[in-house]
Amino acid sequence: MMRSLWSGVSGLQSHQVAMDVEGDNISNVNTPGYKYSRANFSDMLSQTAKPATAPEGELGGKNAMQVGLGTQIISTQQVFTQGSLQTTDIWSDMAIQGEGFFIISPDGGLTKYYTRNGAFTRDVLGNFVDSNGYIVQGWMRDEDTGTIDPTVPVTNINIEPGLSMPAKPTTEIRYKGNLNIGEHIGTQSAAIYSLDSNHGWFDSAGNGILTADKLFAPTRAASTENDTSKNSLYMDSKNQVRLRERGVDMGVVYDEKGD
């Protein structure tokens, strides 16, 4: 009876330790980089009342008669599986997707620690540091070549205060889109100007007869489409300015590469 009671007590004590571990997990739910810990149980001891016997003659072998005497917590295991990523209000906060650790050092790299806590800031000297002041280690970009060499030893990550990169003008733009087959653009309806084959005049009535274009050339009876300095505009019923004829008739078609 006493043996069974003591076994039950050991189980309660072990489960109490497991509850303590779970309570610690709950208390660290808002700790950056913290995952969770897990208590591992193990059989404490088994008392052998009768040993096992080997087969003999016509009698088969028998297993030992053993009675367990309780359980214990053999270890507490840290689990580092990735959690959910969250946005913060600090631009220097970082997160690890997948496996891996950040390297931090309090003495320039002589001593290295590993953490998944990415709550970093910059000090007055431009060092990337954690909440303890340990500087984050990594590879810096080469100022001459602009590349990062991951084969060299890691060093302190330092971004000098006031450091800026010169702006570079855009030299090439690729645009890809589908041509609208109708005249409706969004919730509005706008007339698409025609790309005609006429040179030196504009067919405003659509009947092939030259008519005066008073809006575009009030002193002439014809508009010149190939005059790149002028566009023919008109005012629609919604008092919106629309393009009726461009200075040079040109149609643009994109291929599958956007050229």
Q: In the prediction, which pLDDT does 247 show?
A: 52
**Distance of alpha carbon 175 from the chain centroid:** 25
What is the full DSSP assignment across 237-249? TTS-EEEEE-SS-
CB 152 within 8 A of CB 137: no
Q: Where are the domains of the chain?
A: 2-47+67-79, 87-168, 175-259
How does pLDDT run across 177-218, given as a tens digit for each residue? 776 665 554 555 444 444 555 555 555 566 666 665 444 444
How does pLDDT run across 133-186, given as a tens digit for each residue? 999 999 988 878 878 888 889 999 988 887 777 788 888 888 777 766 655 545
In angstroms, the CA 111 to CA 155 distance is 12
Helices (H), the chain: 2-27
Tell me which of 72-86, 101-115, 177-191 is least confident. Answer: 177-191
CB 249 within 8 A of CB 241: no
Q: Own/partner pairs for 111-117, CB < 8 Å, 24+ apart?
A: 112/137, 115/33, 116/33, 116/35, 116/80, 117/31, 117/32, 117/33, 117/34
**Distance of alpha carbon 155 from the chain centroid:** 25
Q: What is the mean pLDDT of residues 226-249?
A: 63
Side chain identity, residue 28: N
Q: SS3 of 43, please? A: strand
Taking the model in full, what pTM does it have? 0.47
Please state, as a whole number, how many other Cβ atoms lie within 10 Å of the Cβ of residue 168. Answer: 6
Residue whose tokens read 């008519």? 211
Q: In the prediction, which pLDDT does 227 show?
A: 54
Which among 182, 109, 113 is positioned nearest to 140, based on CA atoms? 109
Give the CB-side neighbour count of residue 252, counting CA atoms within 13 A.
10
